[in-house]
Structures are given as structure tokens and as C-alpha cells.
Amino acid sequence: MSNTKVNDFVVRFANVNGTGSASANFLFTKAIFRMGIPVTPKNIFPSNIQGLPTWYEVRVSEKGYLGRREGIDMMVAVNPQSMLNDVKAVKSGGYFLYDSSKKLHDQYIREDIHYIGIPLMTLCNEAYTDARQRQLFKNIVYVGALIALLDIEFKEVEGLLADQFQGKEKLIPSNIKALQLGIDYIHKNFKYPLDIRVERRNLLKDAIMMEGNAACGLGAVYAGATFAAWYPITPSTSVVEGFAEYAAEFRTDKITGKKNVAIVQAEDELAAIGMVIGANWNGARSFTATSGPGLSLMNEFLGLAYFAEIPTVLVDVQRTGPSTGMPTRTQQSDILEAAYASHGDTKHVLVFPSTPKECFELVADSFDLAEQLQTPVIVMIDLDLGMNDHVTPPLVWDDKREYKRGKVLSAADLEKIEKFGRYLDVDNDGITYRTIPGTHASKGSFFTRGTSRDEYAAYTEDSAAYQRNMDRLIKKWNTAKDMVPAPQVYNQKNNSENGILFFGTSQYAAEEAMDILKQEGIAMDAIRLRGFPFNKTVEDFVKSHKKVFVIEQNRDAQMKSLLMIELQADPNKLISVLNYDGMPITADNILKQITKNLSPSSKLN
């Protein structure tokens, strides 16, 4: 038995949406996680509530590669609708686990793969009388089979069930019974474990497993957001739902039931962002979350917030566009839309987290940034990060950290000022002082507007005053460059004439590709963008390399465009590595595109 596939394989589950497979599949993933082995699951789900095919793909990687990988070592096929394609998807030499209650039709037979038939339906029909239980426990039976086949530690699964059914302990024995049905069937009928299998490690240390969206919601709670307005849209929905859940726990008065938070489900995205702007204008930290179509709708208000200089935090969980696109698939295709949202000369601060830990941190930072800069900050994540569980280091919060509320004048400050000018650049950094309504009886009131105004917030159509204001906004933009999250540079000094540039969820596959290139003797420098506007580090990285491979998950090379526009970078040196099929990018894909460029005759093509 070859040892190479220990802790290194991909299992894909082919299920029917709405049949309870999600919790069974998660049980599988989490058990491997608890065995200390790096594991990464991806939901590949339809825009549907019940009945359509849905897949759950789990990669196990001893080396800690947490991106998606092509090539399925084992298919757990419990959906007849998709079975023909599911059979084809298995790697040669791989395994096909199916429900053998009925004989497998000839069309599903391939000579080069192994078949593991388990009569899931028959076993459940014999063991359970209730129709719903028969359906649900089919999923648990195959998890039992996988415990035996892949050598998963039973006690970890038991422990997970104990956690899951805390307070409902009487549900545990029936689940254990189903697991045992699967285990026993394998023990009686097959050789086990398989060559693909797991072995306990201690590779994860104190890591946690979390979805990016929940981490964003929690970040907003820690940052002191007191108001959220939103309109439900996949894949961003669980950001505000996560916020609401954590807020219910931490912001509700135990006696009165009153809450130190308000959440309004708006009538549409226009209203959602309008409410957020209104609340921030009135001094409450507030935010919204949306996805591409919502971002399109929010454009006008984002322009207002930019021009009227109102702090705003927006989490954009990107999905596959354009238009309605593929609402349940991932992409990084809102970059230009977000960077320049709204008519006229507008630019917006963007941040790009890669992991749930970073979602938590950068969302919290975004509230500081938005208030310090008095402008919208858009947190750019994607469906892959937002809606999939990721292994991530534990979240950290420093209790000494204070909220940076920016230049807000108190009543006492106003007393000392002879004449308040809302748009006077007192500190010469482009950032002016604001007041919150209700602060002082006779000083500090001003009229917030989307029309042009002078330094004292009075309406003006004077060209010089208009231009002064526009120039000050650019000065503020330049101030922002060193305030947004700095990029992560992989080598302190350049080691190579070529570099790789990436951001967001491409990090996982990019780092894996870099490792493989290094093993092949092609070491390259790398930089991961975390914020926009770009600072000098980004500019220097691009300048100091002959070629820069820009990895991004969209068709139009949007980040490359942004580098060209904002840094006047030479388009010929920026080589695009693109992925835009709606699935998370893989290291294989990156390698192919890079080697094709570096050595057009390479075998890897």
C-alpha cells in the first residue's frame, strides 16, 4: 500500500439539496480537523432550496494546502440526478461510493475506478421506521462507512455528536447507531482502510474552523457597530445574520431584554446603504453587507458618502457576475465596481481579507478607517471565503485597543473654536473635522449635502471652491495610502526578477503554487495585497520586477487594470493569471498559466 495518500486526498459528496446532508458532511470534515489534520471543505451548491444537486468537496492536506485541488480521489455519490457526471469526475484509480440498494446501471461502470456499494436505503429502511429518519440517517450511515474506509477516529465523531446535541442528548444513540451500521457494513464486506486515509497529526495547533461571513459579523460586534441595515442577498446574508446572533448574545440586557444594537432589514440595497449612511452621520458605527447586484444599486449613495464625507462600512461578498450571474458561485469580479462606485470622480478605500481571522480583524479595522478617513470602506471578500468553513488561526482581540473615532469635535472642542468649518483642512492632511448632530446648542451645526459647497459647508457653484474641495479629497486619498492595511510581502529582499501578486482567497492556491515552483527551481517573490489605495510597497514591488504575475478570479483582469490606472504600471509586465469559472482557483491552474508564460514549451502545458 502506497503511503503517499495518507492525509492527502479529495473527497467529493454528491447530494440532493435539502436532504440533511450538510450536517453529516460537516461532521466528516470536523472529525478530520479534530485529528489535527489540515482540511478544507467547499460547498458547491445550487441557487435552490430543495431538490437540485449540491456537492461538498473536502480536501485533506498534510502539507497544509487549503486551496481547492482538482482531481477527486473519492466520490460519495448519493444523488442519481448527477451520478453520470459524478462517475466521470473520479480520478483514475479513485473510489466511487454509492447506494447499492439498487443495482448500478452499466452506464455508471468504469474499468479504472473502484466501486464501494453500500445499501444505504436498505440499511436505513430496516433500522428506522420514520420516513424522515430513513432519509436523514442515510447520510450518517455513509459517514460511518467513511470512518472505517478512511480510518477516521470514532471517538472524534462521537465527541462532535455530543457537542452538536448538547441539551438534546437523547438524539445521540440513534446517530451512533447509524454510524455503526456504516462501519459494520464496511468491516464485513470490504478491505479497510483504503490507501487514501487519515492519520492523526498535530498540525493545526490552536486553529479554529469558521466561515468568513460569521467572522465579519463578529468583527463588527467587537468594533462597536451599533446599527446594521441590510437586504438579504446570497452570498452575503450570513454576515448580518452572524452579527445579529453575536449581538443577541453580547448586546442584550439580561433583565430588560433591551439591546445595545439595532438591525433593520431594509426594503432594498438602496435603503440599506442609505440607513447606514444616516446612522454613521449621526455618530453610530454602522454597516451593511451585500453582493454584486446590491453593490450596483448602492452606487449613488456611495458617491454621496464619498463626497459628503460620511464614514460607511460595507462588506461585499462577491459572487459570479455579471448581472444575476451564478449567485452561488465565487468570483473576485466587483473590484473596479467597488473602487470607483458612483458617477463623477470617486474612489473608495478597499480592504481584502484572505482568511476568517483576517475578516474579523480587517472588518474591525475598517470601522476605525472609515471614521478616521470619513469615507466608505468596502471589505472585499468572496463566496468562497464568506460561506465556506476555513481552518484559520484563533481570533485575537487586545482589550487595550480603543476605538479610533477620527476627527469628531465635542461640545468642549467647539467652545474653543471661533468659527467651525466642516470642510476646512486644518491639519493639512485632507481630513477635516466633523460634528455629530445634537452636540452643541449654538456651534457646529452644518448642512450635509451631495452638492458642492465651500469650506463652511455652504452651497456654492464657485469653480475655485469646487476644485479646492476636489483637490483636498485627493490629498485625503493620499493620506489613506499608509492607513489602509499594508500588503504582505513574502521576501524581505527581492530574490527573483519575477514576482507574483494576489489577494483574497487566491492566497491559498497561490502559496501552494509558489511552493511547487520553488521545488522546480523557479523561486519567485510574492506580494499579497490587503488594501486599496496602493501604498509605496506595492508600487516598488511592481517596479522592481521584470514580470509580475497578477492572480485574480475574474475574466477582465480587474486588479491588473487598477494597478495600471493607479500606479501607471506598464501593462506589458503585468501578466494575468485568471480564473473565472465560478469555482475557487487551484494551484494547478496557476502553475499552468505561469509556466506557459515562462517556458512556452514546458510539459506542464
Partner 1 sequence: MSYVKPKFRHPELPKNKLGYTVDYYEGALSTLCAGCGHDSISSAIIQGCYEMNIEPHRLAKLSGIGCSSKTPAYFLSNSHGFNSVHGRMPSVATGANMANRDLIYFGVSGDGDTASIGMGQFVHVIRRNLNMTYIVMNNGCYGLTKGQDSATADEGSKNKTGQVNLFESIDLASLAIELGATFVAQSFSGDKTQLVPLIKAAMKHPGFAFINVISPCVTFNNNLGSTKSYDYVREHVEATATMDFVPQMQEISVSYDKGSQKQVKMHDGSLITLNKLAEEWDPLNRQSAMNAVLNAKSKGEILTGLLYVNPDSKDLHHLIQTSDKPLNSLVKSELCPGADALKEINAGLR
Q: Which of residues 408-447 bind partner 1 (CB under 8 A)?
A: 435-442, 445-447
| Residue 297 is a binding residue for partner 1 (CB under 8 A) | no
Q: Which is nearer to partner 1, 193 or 444 (CB)?
A: 444
Q: End-to-end distance of the chain based on CA atoms, in angstroms?
A: 31
**Window contacting partner 1 (CB under 8 A); options: 16-24, 116-124, 233-241, 266-274:** 266-274
Region class of 444: left (phi > 0), else alpha (psi between -120 and 50), else beta: left
Candidate ranges 101-109, 247-255, 541-549, 584-592; the one touching partner 1 (CB under 8 A): 247-255
Instruction: Return d(Cα 238, Cα 161) in angstroms, integer.
Output: 24
Minimum separation from the CB atom of position 21 to partner 1 (A): 22
The full DSSP string for 261-314 is -EEEE-SSHHHHHHHHHHHHHTT--EEEEE-HHHHHHHHHHHHHHHHHT--EEE
Q: Stretches 186-194, 237-245, 250-258, 476-484: which one binds partner 1 (CB under 8 A)?
A: 250-258
106, 111, 402, 418: which one contacts partner 1 (CB under 8 A)?
402
Stretch that binds partner 1, among 281-289, 378-386, 553-561, 576-584 (CB under 8 A): 281-289
| Residue 75 φ/ψ, nearest 5 degrees | -110, 125
Q: Shortest Cβ distance from residue 229 to partner 1 (Å)?
A: 7
Near partner 1 in 183-242, by CB under 8 A: 206-210, 218, 221-224, 226-227, 229
Under the criterion CB under 8 A, does residue 369 sit at the interface with partner 1? no
Is 240:263 a contact under the CB 8 Å cutoff? yes
Residues 67-106 that bind partner 1 (CB under 8 A): none
Q: Give the distance, in angstroms, between the CA of residue 546 and the centroid of all CA atoms in the same chain.
A: 31
283 binds partner 1 (CB under 8 A): yes
Using CA atoms in the order 387, 390, 392, 394, what is the torsion angle rounded to 10 degrees? Answer: 60
> How far are the Cα atoms of 36, 37, 391 from residue 202, in angstroms, in the given order?
5, 7, 14
Considering beta carbons, is residue 131 or 396 the nearer one to partner 1?
396
Give strand ranges (E) for 291-367. 312-320, 326-330, 349-351
Instruction: Indicate which single residue of 281, 306, 420, 532 sits in contact with partner 1 (rule: CB under 8 A).
Output: 281
Listed in sequence order, the residues at least 6 apart from 570 whose beta carbon sits closer than 8 Å to its beta carbon are none
Q: Do residues 288 and 314 touch, judged by C-beta distance below 8 A?
A: yes
Closer residue to partner 1, CB minimum distance, 215 or 575: 215
User: Given the complex with partner 1, which of 98 and 281 has the nearer CB atom?
Assistant: 281
User: Using alpha carbons only, how large is the chain's radius of gyration in Å?
Assistant: 27
Query: How near is the Cβ of 475 to partner 1 at its closest, in Å?
Result: 25
CB 20 within 8 Å of CB 139: yes
Q: Which stretch binds partner 1 (CB under 8 A): 232-240, 398-406, 527-535, 548-556?
A: 398-406
Binding-site member from 6, 147, 196, 276 for partner 1 (CB under 8 A):
276
Q: Distance (Å, rounded) from C-alpha 523 to C-alpha 490?
A: 11
Place of cell 439591546: 259
**Which residue, 24 or 223, is less far from partner 1 as judged by CB?**
223
The nearer residue to partner 1, 49 or 396, going by C-beta atoms, is 396
Q: Containing H/E element for 164?
A: helix 154-164
Binding mask 300-339 for partner 1 (x = CB under 8 A): xx--x-----------------------------------
Identity of the residue, 207 or 417, whose beta carbon is nearer to partner 1 in the bound complex = 207
In whole angstroms, give the CA distance from residue 563 to residue 557.
Answer: 10
Kindly tell me which residue out of 264, 417, 516, 598 binds partner 1, with binding defined by CB under 8 A.
264
Max CA pair span of the chain: 89
| Angle separating helix axes 212-222 and 237-250, nearest 10 degrees | 40
| # binding residues, partner 1 (CB under 8 A) | 74
State which residue, 210 or 591, has the beta carbon closest to partner 1: 210
The C-alpha cell 466587483 sits at 334
Closest CA to 148 of 194, 117, 90: 194
Site string for partner 1, 446-485 (x = CB under 8 A): xxxxxx------xx--------------------------
Query: Of 44-73, which residues contact partner 1 (CB under 8 A)?
Result: none
